[in-house]
């Protein structure tokens, strides 16, 4: 195909009249760049369909809160890239809007644009830049521009007279802005989660702003729409912030050893769960993402892992991208609190909730949400820290746990967990108490506990060795302190309407 002059690409920029719309009608096109993806930070994933980094999740979260408070959006559309979809989903979650994925939107031929870009280096004068504008554009870029403009034109026509938000790549946004300017060699840099707006007013298109980032310095607390009710994320913000703070520091721990230890215990949980094949699974509090990958490899149709800690989600996505098996493609991760799941009712066949409730002051909210997203006949698999029935021993155990992990609220008894499940209308089918022998030093190291608190934890356990003060059967094996970490497993089913 022959090269084209820039003027041939923009004979009549996105004209509403051509689509049969009244010229007096106003239109807003909000262009939102996706948050930072794994491919932006890790060169070895440059060619992969990647999710978001920890920073990307934070960016998306802040942007969603800002848009909720300061912007009205009628329609939310994303391109097909995973990092765009995840950014759009977080925005939609905050605004209560569905996300329409437009798979027609093309991707910028980056190599061609970089070659074009290189010719701008050193062109300091406006005359030199103007001369470049007169030269023909390479066919790949011209073809891409045609396809992109045609796709966006169809979106604009379909949603004319409203505010349309499009979440896409910085390259796509820069190309669209060049199209409006009629300057296809203009070097436009677009930052992650930046906002650019063009609008149609007074019978002409206008550039309102580009690369707007005022949301990033000032995070705004989120208020989400859950089941039609306006509510906070469930737990008080300071409690959730503490959980995020504690688990963010785990990036400094020996994560490979932690994943290996998790796999050993998770295999035991999966033997108990016996989930059906081809299930749609949700993992609440996914952490490093080990369980979703094991579930996918065991035959789950799709697995979504959610967590409120961006650092954990980055590590989970890194693990997913590092796996070469096709099963990894059936796993995805989302930033969301367990108390306000961003999913429709009856979305999953199985919900796992492992080591989450002990962080919650109102665990019933989490079980309520888990039950809501379960289909009738679906299973909840609960795995939690088990405390002694003796209230004094339970208080001692919780004091030790809180010193090791400041985000810990309470380990509970079997009866308390049973009541939480039954009160949400679920039927318990199986229960099991399991014990894992843990070495004290390994257990402490896994949380990157502050050295001062490490000494206190060690003293508290040593002080109760003779009386089993915490109900954890702490004892010495040679020079090593060991104890039993008791877990309580519950398998519960959501009754069908006829039951």
| pLDDT tens-digit map of 471-490 | 999 999 999 999 999 999 99
Sorted by where each begins, the domain ranges of the chain are: 6-212, 234-493
Does residue 377 register a pLDDT over 90?
A: yes
Over residues 274-297, the mean pLDDT reads 96
d(CA 459, CA 474): 12
Mean pLDDT of the chain: 86
Supply the DSSP symbol for 326: G
- Same fold yes or no, 6-212 and 234-493: yes
Residue 191 in tokens: 């930052």
- Is 191:16 a contact under the CB 8 Å cutoff? no
Q: Single out the residue of 212, 211, 234, 214 nearest to residue 223, CA to CA.
A: 234
CATH architecture of the domain 234-493 equals: 3-Layer(aba) Sandwich (3.40)
CATH code for the part of the protein at 6-212: 3.40.50.1240
Give the per-residue pLDDT at 71. Answer: 92
Give the per-residue pLDDT at 498. Answer: 77
Give the per-residue pLDDT at 8. Answer: 44
Q: Single out the residue of 49, 66, 60 nearest to residue 90, CA to CA.
A: 60
Give the per-residue pLDDT at 127. Answer: 63
- Is 373:346 a contact under the CB 8 Å cutoff? yes
Give the per-residue pLDDT at 311. Answer: 92
Give the per-residue pLDDT at 17. Answer: 47
Residue 486: strand, helix, or coil: strand
β-bridge pairing 427-439 and 75-78 = unpaired
Over residues 351-369, the mean pLDDT reads 96
Q: Which of the four pLDDT bands, split at 50, 70 and 90, describes residue 255? A: confident
| pLDDT tens-digit map of 66-106 | 999 999 999 999 999 999 999 999 999 999 999 999 999 98
Give the per-residue pLDDT at 382. Answer: 98
| pLDDT tens-digit map of 190-214 | 999 999 999 998 888 899 999 999 8
């Amino acid at each position: 195909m022959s090269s084209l002059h820039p003027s041939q690409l923009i004979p009549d920029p996105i004209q509403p009249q051509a689509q049969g719309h009244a010229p007096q009608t106003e239109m807003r096109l909000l262009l939102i760049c996706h948050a930072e993806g794994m491919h932006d930070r890790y060169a070895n994933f440059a060619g992969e369909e990647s999710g978001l980094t920890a920073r990307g999740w934070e960016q998306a979260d802040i942007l969603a809160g800002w848009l909720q408070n300061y912007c009205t959006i009628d329609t939310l559309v994303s391109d097909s890239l995973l990092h765009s979809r995840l950014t759009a989903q977080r925005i939609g979650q905050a605004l209560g809007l569905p996300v329409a994925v437009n798979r027609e939107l093309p991707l910028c031929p980056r190599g061609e644009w970089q070659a074009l870009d290189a010719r701008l280096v050193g062109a300091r004068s406006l005359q030199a830049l103007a001369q470049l504008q007169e030269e023909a554009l390479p066919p790949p870029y011209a073809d891409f521009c045609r396809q992109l403009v045609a796709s966006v034109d169809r979106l604009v026509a379909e949603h004319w007279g409203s505010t349309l938000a499009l979440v896409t790549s910085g390259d796509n946004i820069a190309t669209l802005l060049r199209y409006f300017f009629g300057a296809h060699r203009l070097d436009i840099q677009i930052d992650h989660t930046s906002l650019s707006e063009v609008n149609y007013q007074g019978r002409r298109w206008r550039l309102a702003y580009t690369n707007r980032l005022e949301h990033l310095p000032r995070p705004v607390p989120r208020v989400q729409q859950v089941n039609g009710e306006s509510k906070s994320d469930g737990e008080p913000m300071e409690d959730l912030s503490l959980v995020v703070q504690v688990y963010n520091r785990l990036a400094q721990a020996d994560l490979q050893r932690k994943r290996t230890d998790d796999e050993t215990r998770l295999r035991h949980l999966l033997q108990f769960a016996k989930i059906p094949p081809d299930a749609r699974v949700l993992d609440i509090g996914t952490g490093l993402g080990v369980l979703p990958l094991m579930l996918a490899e065991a035959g789950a149709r799709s697995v979504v892992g959610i967590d409120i800690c961006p650092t954990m989600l980055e590590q989970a996505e890194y693990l997913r991208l590092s796996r070469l098996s096709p099963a990894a493609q059936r796993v995805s991760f989302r930033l969301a609190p367990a108390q306000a799941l961003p999913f429709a009712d009856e979305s999953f066949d199985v919900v796992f909730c492992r080591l989450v409730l002990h962080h919650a002051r109102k665990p019933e909210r989490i079980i309520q949400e888990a039950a809501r997203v379960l289909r009738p006949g679906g299973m909840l698999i609960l795995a939690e820290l088990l405390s002694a029935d003796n209230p004094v021993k339970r208080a001692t155990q919780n004091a030790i746990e809180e010193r090791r992990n400041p985000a810990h609220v309470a380990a509970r008894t079997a009866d308390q967990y049973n009541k939480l499940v039954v009160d949400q209308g679920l039927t318990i089918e199986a229960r099991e108490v399991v014990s894992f022998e843990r070495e004290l030093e390994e257990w402490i190291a896994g949380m990157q506990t502050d050295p001062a608190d490490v000494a206190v934890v060690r003293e508290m356990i040593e002080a109760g060795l003779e009386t089993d003060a915490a109900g954890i059967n702490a004892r010495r094996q040679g020079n090593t302190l060991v104890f039993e970490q008791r877990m309580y497993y519950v398998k519960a089913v959501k009754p069908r309407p006829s039951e």
